[in-house]
Amino acid sequence: MPIFSFECDKCGKEVDRMMKWSKKGMEDQVGLCECGAEKWNKIIKVAHSKTAVSAEERGANDLIGHSWR
């Protein structure tokens, strides 16, 4: 099952929840925030590979004439 991230509409706290994807109602399944708010916004996070080349390393490789991939 995938993990989705949500942000509290009131205080901005982020939480991750493992749940089935749905077009509607995923935010309703999160529950109450610690601040007491009920409204959550679904947020999108991008996973980065551990083997990815950083922008700094890519720039350095470009300066010395090496292709970054």
Per-residue tens of pLDDT for the chain, all 69 residues: 788 899 999 999 999 998 888 888 888 889 999 999 999 999 887 765 556 666 667 666 666 665 545
14-18 β-sheet, strand order: 14-18, 3-8, 40-43
What are the residue boundaries of the structural domains of the chain, listed by start? 3-63
pTM of the model: 0.61
- The whole-angstrom separation of Cα 12 and Cα 26 is 17
Contact 10, 33 (CB under 8 A): yes
Sequence-distant (6+) residues with CB within 8 A of 65 are: none
